[in-house]
Structure 1
Amino acid sequence: MKFPGRRKLKHYFPVSQMKPTLPFLEVRPDRDTYIVGLDETIVDVVASVNDAFLKQHGVTKSLSNLVDHKTATSIYQQLIDSGSISDHFAGGTIGNTLHNYSVLADDKSVLLGVMSSNIALGSPAYHYICHTSSKVDMNHLQGVAGDIGRGITLITPDGERTFAIAPGDMDELNEDHIPEDIIAGASAFVTCAYPIRHHGKPIQKALILSLEYAKRHSIPVVMSLGTKHLVEENHQQLMDIIHKYVDILAMNELEAEALTGLKDPLLAADAALEFVDMVLLTAGPDGLYLCGYTDDEFKRETTNPIKSGTLADFNRFEFSRPLSKKACTSPIKVFSHIDPYMGGPEKIKNTNGAGDGALSALLHDIAANNFHREVMPQSSKHKTNYLAYSSFAQICKYSNRVSYEILAQNASRLSKGLPEKEDSLEESYWDR
């Protein structure tokens, strides 16, 4: 029998050969390369409104507003009645990042969080699962009786984003559902600062336990900062967690200013490197920065034009590969910057998820490094314990391209990988 689709002759399943085993959907810590993320599981509802709508519902513009279930339902119903909703998306900073990672890597990731035990058609949980890659392992989610979160993104004519968040049971994740063996086998553990603001909720303790497991097993910890106001309101607690657990920070220029007190992105990244090993900083129309450390012995000079800003010749060694500061005998700081891909999309309707896309590319490179080290431990690529497979400059290029794809498709998550016509870009990316 000839099967449909493009197949080579040897793939017609000859009866003399053993049938291949079905792929495992659940992560196997002793065999698979994967990343783990902890998130508040939430569905994003995107709608266009005016300033009067925000005032009517007591929602403060440009901020992330926590609202009760009644207020959220009222907002949602009015948006439906006016036909203002453009779409529903599975959301959450880390949920977006894991989905994008699995699309880019075509491989597994593990999500820790909650999920409704009973999922009805059209419910937040239903939309979340429908819009998440099947490669994201959800077998370790905690079942809850109520709904997961609902985040309503309200976009005003000036392009400003305002969030109305109805938490539901998204913060009920408890310590019993944090699997140490899964975290111990990961290439990286990624989380965000949002759970920090929910004082007294189980998810705070679950987050700290996850960080403890990652630290115990020397798994790189990556944290995304959330929003500027979250950083300002929880600054001391956040700094304590960063100093104790975090290796890599992902943030935008506003969050960086709130964290360090420095408005210039380059200086803010430089300051952040005093307490973490790497910084991914997205700066809107100014592009993005990737900053970190390498050893003076292994530094590599760029062949790109030398750039100067508040730091002179800051990208001179951007062809170096990232190392943790403690792994360096003579550490030097490395800075790389890239302008928006092709100047950025012609029209940007929604910036949700652009930073998450950039972070997923970095995580893909970290996981690729881990995989390559396991299968080819004698390779010259692993003569020292690098954090990532590629150079700062090449990771910048990859992160920038993924971020562009998110912006261009007007969605918070990738619907597919990078276009096939860019295979040559990918080849050069992995070869460098």
Structure 2
Amino acid sequence: MKFPGQRKHKHYFPVDQKHPLTNKISEDVVYKHPYIVGIDQILVDITARVGTEFIEDFALEKGMSQVIDNDKAEALYQALMANGLIEHQFAGGTVGNTLHNYSVLADDRSVLLGVMSENIQIGSYAYRYLCNTSSRVDLDHLQPVAGPVGRCFTLITEEGERTFAINAGLMNRLTEEFVDENLIKDASALVISAYLMRGSEEDTIAEATMKAVKYANEVGVPVVLTLGTKFFIEQDPQWWRDFINEHVTILAMNEEEGEALTGESETLIAADKALEWVDLVLCTAGPVGLYTAGYTDDQYKRETEHALLPTPIPEFNRYEFSRPMRKADCENPIKIYSHIAPYMGGPDEIKNTNGAGDGALSALLHDISANVFHAENVPDSSKHRQHALSYSSFSQICKYANRVSYEVLVQHSPRLSRGLPEREENLEESYWDR
């Protein structure tokens, strides 16, 4: 387990442990390693450059997003392969992206639940999914299916027009039998997305997801929900409010999804509104940056050393150096908020916006699991006198999430190929660790 940021204080977990009498490194020390579990629709994003005639040959509406059946998807894929038109084949899926990035950042295990084609050919899209997923992501619990996983084709014509063709394949056929109760209950967090909860009558992934959520809720494992798209939420916002209020601990969203869920156009107010239902909110806001909002106990509040910001909530970031807690664990809960502008003002060239929010969430999950790791291995540390959700403060989480999002924006893939650079001035030690 790598720890986020740079820390030089006693709270940082030691890389070795010496015997108290001999002052020598103990060779029999075995650290307990936490893990997170995620459920996802397994899909591959396929990008190709084609001519207008190619679009017409497959009866696709140019410049539009459309759903295609399995036969057309397979014929389309084979034609792209035969003509050498494919530019990129990236593993996709919002939770899959998040787990991959988490494992790259933490250099530790995560577990992905979903379906995978049981017959995989070298060079195929299913093969690419496996190749583009960190070896730290445990894929042993995937459900084998006799058919394709999901495919999202992005077809770019000469003038730059993008046509999207989406085929679900069998990605929504995860069944309850492949949701292991002990796996969920021993996890540091369960990550799901809004995409999982609605589907056709023959889809079973929603039932499997609810079974996992039930297991997590029974033992207090944090359930982390990423909203995914505003169009999905605005169809029935009250259903989502009820679901979140009953089952979700941590909510990840962008400003559009926040407005669809809460009815509030101001991002900070939307995050504040969401605290009626959850304990912690991570909200990305494009060029504005990102926000965190949550709770801490009044006795543990820590005042910021940054400038106080004028917003609809006056001096909202006053206690941003506090660490997040579940509201139920606070004797006297108070709301805490933090904000950060885009890292370095944002990249000079944005190569990909898909996955920036997933990258931010992976940073938050890393900080949460680091806290669990430290608590399990150094339970007597003064760090854990406070029953916090995360290892770091609201402010530090913002910095870390912001930096990871930047790294995703400057590359084509939504998945990190490496960790962050070793020396990061922006990832200074948190106030708690000073």
With structure 1 as the length reference, what TM-score do the two structures score? 0.86
- For 1:57, which of 55, 60, 67 is the aligned residue? 60
- The amino acid that maps onto 1:393 is S
Q: Against the structure 1 CA distance between its residues 313 and 153, is the aligned structure 2 distance closer, same or farther, given a 3 Å change threshold? A: farther
| 1:101 aligned partner | 102
Q: 2:212 aligns with which of 187, 210, 221?
A: 210
170-179 or 81-90, larger mean C-alpha shift: 81-90
CA distance in 2, matches of 1:427, 1:314: 22
Distance apart, 1:297 and its partner CA:
1.4
1: CA distance, partners of 2:353 / 2:75: 25
Output the CA distance in 2 between the equivalents of 1:409 and 1:220: 31
Tell me the CA shift for residue 378 of structure 1.
Answer: 1.6
- CA deviations 1:33-52 (Å, max 9, x no partner) are 11100111111113468999
The 3-state SS of whatever aligns with 2:429 is: helix
- SS where residue 210 of structure 1 aligns? helix
- Residue in 2 aligned with 1:223? 225
Give the partner amino acid of 2:364: L
Secondary structure at 1:428 match in 2 = coil
CA-CA distance at 1:161 after TM superposition:
7.7
1:230, distance to aligned residue in structure 2 (A)? 1.1
* Deviation larger for 48-57 or 369-378: 48-57
Q: Contact conserved, 1:197 with 1:230, CA < 8 A, in 2?
A: no
- Distance in 1, Cα, partners of 2:211 & 2:245: 16
Going from structure 1 to structure 2, the CA distance change for 1:84 and 1:381 (only over 3 Å counts) comes to same
Change (3 A) 1:372 1:90: same
**Aligned residues of 1:124 and 1:149 also touching (Cα < 8 A):** no
Tell me the distance in 2 between the aligned counterparts of 1:170 and 1:379.
44
- Kindly report the root-mean-square deviation, in angstroms, between the aligned alpha carbons of the 2 structures: 2.8
CA distance in 2, matches of 1:246, 1:266: 20
Q: Which residue of 2 aligns with 1:349?
A: 351
Amino acid at match of 2:136: K
> CA distance change for structure 1 residues 223 and 157 in 2, over 3 Å: closer, same or farther?
farther
Pair 1:330 & 2:332 matched: yes
1:373 alignment partner in structure 2:
375
- Give, in whole Å, the separation in 2 of the partners of 1:282 and 1:158: 31
Alignment of structure 1 residues 166-177 onto 2, 5 Å: 166-177=167-178
Partner Cα separation in structure 2 for residue 75 and residue 310 of structure 1? 51
Identify the residue that residue 407 of structure 1 maps to in structure 2. Answer: 409
Change (3 A) 1:327 1:231: same
Cα shift readout 1:334-380 (whole Å, capped 9, x = no counterpart) = 11111110011101122011000000000000000001111111212
Question: 2:135 is paired with a residue of what secondary structure?
Answer: coil
Please state whether the residue corresponding to 2:269 is helix, strand or coil. Answer: helix
Q: 1:155 to 1:104 in 2, by over 3 A?
A: farther
C-alpha contact (below 8 Å) 1:59/1:164 kept by paired residues: no
The worse-fitting range, judged by mean Cα deviation, of 258-267 and 162-171 is 162-171
Percent identity, please.
55
Q: Give CA-to-partner distance per residue, 1:206-227, whole Å, 9 cap, x none.
A: 0000000000111001000111
Between the aligned partners of 1:302 and 1:49, the Cα distance in structure 2 is: 53
Q: For each residue in 1:128-148, what CA deviation from the matched residue of structure 2 results, as whole angstroms up to 9, or x when unmatched?
A: 100000000111111111111
Q: Which residue identity lines up with residue 352 of structure 1 in the other structure?
A: N
- Partners of 1:59 and 1:184 lie apart in 2 by 46
1:121-136 residue pairs with structure 2 within 5 A? Answer: 121-136=122-137
1:275 aligns with 2:282: no
CA contact (8 A) 1:196 1:238 kept: no
Give distance in 1, aligned partners of 2:384 and 2:60.
56
> 1:49 and 1:403 mapped to 2: Cα distance?
30
CA distance in 1, matches of 2:223, 2:354: 23
User: Equivalent residue for 1:396?
Assistant: 398
Contact conserved, 1:196 with 1:234, CA < 8 A, in 2?
A: no
Which amino acid in 1 is paired with 2:420? Answer: L
| Alpha-carbon offset, residue 243 of structure 1 | 1.6
Paired AA for residue 57 in structure 1: L
Distance 1:161 1:358 in 2: 26
Which residue of 264, 278, 293 maps to 2:295?
293
SS of alignment partner, residue 337 of structure 2: strand
Instruction: Name the CA distance, whole Å, in 2 between partners of 1:158 and 1:319.
Output: 49
Rounded Cα–Cα distance in structure 2 between residues aligned with 1:392 and 1:318 = 5
CA contact (8 A) 1:159 1:349 kept: no
Tell me what 2:246 maps to: 244
Residues 160 and 57 of structure 1: is their aligned pair in 2 closer, same or farther, counting only changes over 3 Å? closer
Question: Which stretch shifts more, 304-313 or 80-89?
Answer: 80-89
Q: Of residues 382, 405, 416 in structure 1, which corresponds to 2:418? A: 416
Structure 1 position 163, deviation (Å): 4.8
- AA aligned to 1:198 is G
Partner letter of residue 208 of structure 2?
A
TM-score, L = length of structure 2: 0.86
- For the 8 Å contact 2:63–2:161, the answer to whether it is kept is no
Letter in 2 for 1:94: V
Contact 1:317 1:335 (8 Å CA) reproduced: yes
Partners of 2:352 and 2:411 within 8 A in 1: no
Q: Distance in 2 between matches of 1:149 and 1:404?
A: 27
CA contact (8 A) 2:32 2:376 kept: no
Q: Which has the higher contact order (CA 8 A, sep 6+)?
A: 2
Does 1:256 find its partner at 2:254? no
Query: Pairwise mapping of residues 140-219 of structure 1 onto structure 2 (< 5 A)?
Result: 140-153=141-154, 163-200=164-201, 201-219=203-221
Deviation at 1:82, TM superposition (A): 8.2
Q: How far apart are residue 425 of structure 1 and its match?
A: 5.2
List gaps (5 residues or longer) in structure 2: 1-26
